[in-house]
Amino acid sequence: MDPQEHEADHGTGSPAAPHMTPEELRLWGRRFLDWVAGYHEQIESYPVLSQVRPGEVADGLPQSPPAEPEGFDAVLDDLERVIVPGLTHWQSPGFFAFFPTPATGPAILGDLLSSGLGVQGMLWASSPACTELESRVLDWLVELCGLPQRFRSDGSGGGVIQDSASSSALCALVAARERALTSAAGATIADLVVYTSQHAHSSIYKSARIAGFGADRVRYVDSDPTYAMSPEALAAAAVADRAAGLVPCAVVGTVGTTSSLAFDPVARLAAIARSEGMWTHVDGALAGAAAVCPEFRFVNRGLAAVDSYCFNPHKWLLTNLDCTAMWVADREALTGALSVTPEYLRNPHSEKGTVIDYRDWQVPLGRRFRSLKLWLVLRWYGAEGLQTHIRSGVAWAQQFAGWVREHPDFSLAAPAPLNLVCFRHRGGDEVNRRILDAVNEEGRFYITHTVLDGQYTLRLSVGTVATRAHHVEAAWDAITAAAANL
Amino acid sequence: MDPQEHEADHGTGSPAAPHMTPEELRLWGRRFLDWVAGYHEQIESYPVLSQVRPGEVADGLPQSPPAEPEGFDAVLDDLERVIVPGLTHWQSPGFFAFFPTPATGPAILGDLLSSGLGVQGMLWASSPACTELESRVLDWLVELCGLPQRFRSDGSGGGVIQDSASSSALCALVAARERALTSAAGATIADLVVYTSQHAHSSIYKSARIAGFGADRVRYVDSDPTYAMSPEALAAAAVADRAAGLVPCAVVGTVGTTSSLAFDPVARLAAIARSEGMWTHVDGALAGAAAVCPEFRFVNRGLAAVDSYCFNPHKWLLTNLDCTAMWVADREALTGALSVTPEYLRNPHSEKGTVIDYRDWQVPLGRRFRSLKLWLVLRWYGAEGLQTHIRSGVAWAQQFAGWVREHPDFSLAAPAPLNLVCFRHRGGDEVNRRILDAVNEEGRFYITHTVLDGQYTLRLSVGTVATRAHHVEAAWDAITAAAANL
């Protein structure tokens, strides 16, 4: 660059880019909001599971980026023409697949605020409200869900919003690893063992592998007939590993497994972990939200003795992706493992240690203001509204489970304590596969499957915001009709 | 639960929660949009660096969560009363701290679409458009930035949106680790060494530690007087490590360091890495965006030989947090290290291997539809608009660097090739510290510092959307006035 050229700009300056003005944001914002609201209004007109073939969406998009600014009318047209047909509609009332991922109005507005404010909460100082609102709403969740007091931020613990239960498990395992390496003299990472169950989410194994644990150092402890981890088997595995010169490092339990909503006996696992010097992390991704209802607090059993815990408000607590609530009992164990401070992040408040810097609680440095959406959800619904949502999901799933029990050709494949029902037709794997395909191809519903005891098993997960009792009933009709038509 | 009770619900169903209706979303959405637009209109009325004391925001919030639904008028009041005073305003035109984090209209609208659609793109099948739009816009960026063709998704490489450069480095290092463990017979993770520079971002060390590399297995290779990594020192370190029985695993270079925007000699580092069988990852977090302008393509030098690369559209490319663009030359090396497939995620398209499942490219399983905001940014600005933004940031920073050069008491502390100027007063560390404090306390501007060659150094980073030439000029006036008043 020629300095003379810049000098010539002095006063007038180089031209600014064609940024969208606040007034344009108001105008276009209304158009886009209207489009989003309309999408929800007409969501039942789309097949739940996208029917495009691979490459079809890409074929509808230009090969090259636009050279010049484009009008946003064209974008809205392309949304309808190219994007919508390529969506699997997670917000459809007929979406009974995987797990619910809510996109509620208050959460959408919370995200809008976060995007609009555009602050970055890596440090307390980089936007104090981003840190303090987050700590406060996670303390609120401790109260709302009846979680252990030791998770509160006014003691030695505290909560943090992670992007996912996967990342929460990763952070917990890194903290566990560092604690084990510090306390077990001479041990290396190759000596450390992580225990979980075959029914734990795949992210547990993945997180352990990312954290450097060997593939042969993740033990799948045996389960009982309800798919819950066996404490006896855990104790035996730890003893055997100690005898082999290895170091039991962490146990990861699950309250409400992804496959079948099985509940590991957390209190007993944590007691074994404590006696072996292990870290206990518990993943309550889906089911943890049920604890907003006092009658479902069984999901919290044993949490008073664990080191870390998480559940996903972005699954069943009406907050859109991404919002995982994670708590630790000893925040220094977490931050000690994840804190690295270069000079350019030093600031008086952090140096004094009087504030929380959430960058030390997570993998990334940067962070969005994600507590806004949780704050808006908690205020819009109140405890009452959240409870009503959980109770309706449980009631409708239990109703469905009742129909399965009463039908001569279908049976439950696992206990159905909350909003997930695992079931199968007595005709065997191929018949169940054909029922699944027939229901999903028809378009009004989307259900997925798992394998339990080696048998192909259908799953119906209730909790999408738009779902009502009659959708669950219609899904059952579609399933039985598909079975009858085989 | 009593099954009779559910049976009684049959037909009518349990009550649904008080969800926000699409019509309510339209009405509240306008209020919130209006609030966001107004925030941007009046942003210069706030002190850039928040002036609250620790705990002040929390004190303005109730101790307990609401039991019943609350009206959103109260939320809008609390935003003004509690949240805004606790913000450090990253979107202020006087924000010259750290690095820019844009919140542009098109990106805000893209996030709104993502939140509103509420789809989860873990698998191609779980919303094909989420995957295909992402691959396409990352191919667009390859073209737009003149990146190596081997990063395109129509060959053996491909791009993915990560939440951060930190997570990109972590994924790259995990892939590097697995490749090294596969190819170096008998090696364990304790034998593997990662090379980077003291001037690399702290997330490189943090990612290496998260991935299980020992603290004593991260080597800070010496730099030259411009703070660029020395290839000779890298080669020597690798030779010494090999001689000691260790295995060089990965080198992480930076194009545009956080401290001073130094450029590592990527081509030479990659050549050494290749001869040693190491993975080369390059972090272009801030400066990578400059490549949209042909005259700044020096930031891409050497990338044709690296294994992975990332830069952050959420820093200087007008896309709001979080949006890191990461590319790999060999996508199977990445997915081979990060793929774990439980039964409940199996589906015909994934099994055939004909589609991309982005869950295998990242730490978490779940993922938002983040390509929408990048798509909208690229369409709103076009290549031309993006270039104008980059050019104005460079021009204004160069103008500022010129004033520093000409001033008798100030001098540049590092080369200033783009939009970051490192400089200091000749009075020494304490004087510079006092200048920084005086400027930041006054409220119109926020600048931060680093340490170069052991000396306290002021940093001025240009690129915020609202910044114009006169703000940079006023910042210089404030800095020189603060120096004169000491």
**Judgement on whether residues B199 and B132 belong to the same structural domain of the protein:** yes
Instruction: Count, in order, helices (H) and strands (E) of chain A.
Output: 16, 11
Q: In what order do the strands lie in the sheet with A158-162?
A: A158-162, A324-328, A308-311, A279-283, A247-254, A192-197, A218-221
Q: What are phi and psi of A458, to 5 degrees?
A: -85, 145
Which of 438-477 (A) contact B at CB < 8 A?
Answer: 448-451, 459, 465, 468-470, 473
Is there a contact between B365 and B98 (Cβ–Cβ < 8 Å)? no
Domain that holds residue B329: 119-367
> Which candidate from B35, B57, B391 shows the least CB-CB separation from A132?
B57
Same-domain status, A343 and A243: yes
Angle subtended by helix axes B202-210 and A165-183, to nearest 10: 80
pLDDT of residue A5: 39
pLDDT (tens digit, 9 = 90+) per residue, B321-360?
999 999 999 999 999 999 987 777 778 887 777 899 999 9
Alpha-carbon gap, residue A123 to B52, rounded angstroms: 14
Query: What's the distance, CA A145 to chain centroid?
Result: 17
Burial of A441 (0-12, 13-18, 19+ CB in 10 A): exposed
- Eight-class DSSP state of A371: H
Q: What pLDDT, in 10s, does the model give residues A344-375?
A: 777 888 777 789 999 999 999 999 999 999 99
Q: Say which residues have a Cβ less than 8 Å from residue A211's Cβ, sequence separation at least 6.
A: A170, A173, A174, A177, B210, B211, B212
The number of distinct structural domains making up chain A is: 2
Please, are residues A321 and A285 in contact by the beta-carbon 8 Å criterion?
Answer: no
Tokens, residue A262: 């099985």
Instruction: Report in angstroms the alpha-carbon separations of A437 from A49, A432, A478, B156.
Output: 11, 9, 12, 32
In a domain, B395, yes or no: yes
Size of interface A-B (CB pairs under 8 A): 565
- Tens of pLDDT, residues B359-403: 999 999 999 999 999 999 999 999 999 999 999 999 999 999 999
* Whether residues A335 and A387 fall in one domain: no
pLDDT in tens, B158-201: 999 999 999 999 999 999 999 999 998 889 999 999 999 999 99
Q: Which two tokens stand for residue A375?
A: 């704050």
- B227 phi/psi in degrees, rounded to 5: 70, 20
Say if residue B3's pLDDT is above 70: no
The chain-wide mean pLDDT, for chain B, equals 94
- The reply to whether B285 and B391 lie within a common domain is no
Closest Cβ opposite residue A388 in set B15, B74, B177: B15
Whether residue B302 is contained in a domain is answered as: yes
pLDDT at B353: 76
Residues A186 and A290 in one domain: yes
The two three-digit tokens of residue B439, written as one number: 């400027």
Indicate whether A363 and A396 sit together in one domain. Answer: no
Whether A342 maps to a domain, the answer reads yes
Phi, psi of B328 (to 5 degrees): -125, 150
- The domain boundary, picked from B338, B367, B396, lies at B367
Closest CA to B469 of B406, B394, B412: B394
| Residues counted in chain B | 486
- Helices A165-183 and A331-338, axial angle in degrees (round to 10): 90
In a domain, B317, yes or no: yes
With respect to residue B142, please indicate whether it lies within any of the assigned structural domains: yes
The CATH number of residue B479's host domain is: 3.90.1150.10
Residue whose structure tokens are 């020629």: A2
Tell me which chain A residues have a C-beta less than 8 angstroms from the C-beta of B82. Answer: 129
Residue A198 in contact with residue A223, Cβ under 8 Å?
A: yes
Below-50 pLDDT ranges, chain A: 1-12
What average pLDDT score do residues B108-127 get? 97
Q: Is residue A79 part of a domain?
A: no
Q: Which of A279, A325, A306 is nearest to A175 (CA)?
A: A279
What kind and span of H or E run contains A161? strand A158-162
Residues A349 and A464 in one domain: no
Q: Beta strand A218-221 with A247-254: parallel, antiparallel or unpaired? A: unpaired
**Binary contact (A469, B14; C-beta < 8 A):** yes
Distance from CA of B426 to the nearest CA of A (A): 20
pLDDT score of B16 more than 90: no
Shortest distance between the Cα of B240 and any Cα of chain A, in A, equals 23
| Assigned token pair, B458 | 């002021």
**Chain B partners within 8 Å of A141 (Cβ):** 65
For residue A7, the model assigns a pLDDT of: 38
Q: Give the DSSP per-residue string, A231-286.
A: HHHHHHHHHHHHHTT-EEEEEEEEBS-TTT--B--HHHHHHHHHHTT-EEEEE-TT
Task: Give yes or no: residues B359 and B393 share one domain.
Answer: no
Cα Rg, chain B, nearest whole Å: 25
Please name the amino acid found at residue B290: A
- d(C-alpha B199, C-alpha B316), whole Å: 20
Note whether B388 contacts A15, CB cutoff 8 Å.
yes
Give the per-residue pLDDT at B13: 63
B382 & B411 share domain: yes
Do residues A165 and A309 both lie within one domain? yes
Instruction: Give the confidence band of B12 by pLDDT, cuts at 50, 70, 90.
Output: very low
Specify whether the CB–CB gap between A190 and A357 falls below 8 A. no
A37 and A178 co-located in one domain: no
Residue A290 and residue A279 in contact, taking contact as beta carbons nearer than 8 Å: no
How close, in Å, is residue A427 to chain B by CA atoms?
Answer: 20
ipTM (interface pTM)? 0.95
Angstroms from A233 CA to nearest CA on chain B: 22
Confidence of residue B6 (pLDDT cuts 50, 70, 90): very low
Q: How far apart are CA A302 and CA A290, in angstroms?
A: 15
Let me know whether B302 and B449 are in one domain.
Answer: no
Q: Assign B71 a pLDDT band (cuts: 50, 70, 90).
A: confident
Q: Are A178 and A336 in contact (CB under 8 A)?
A: yes
Please answer whether residues B114 and B120 qualify as being in contact, where contact means their C-beta atoms are separated by less than 8 angstroms.
Answer: no
> CATH number, domain at A385?
3.90.1150.170
A64 falls within a domain = no
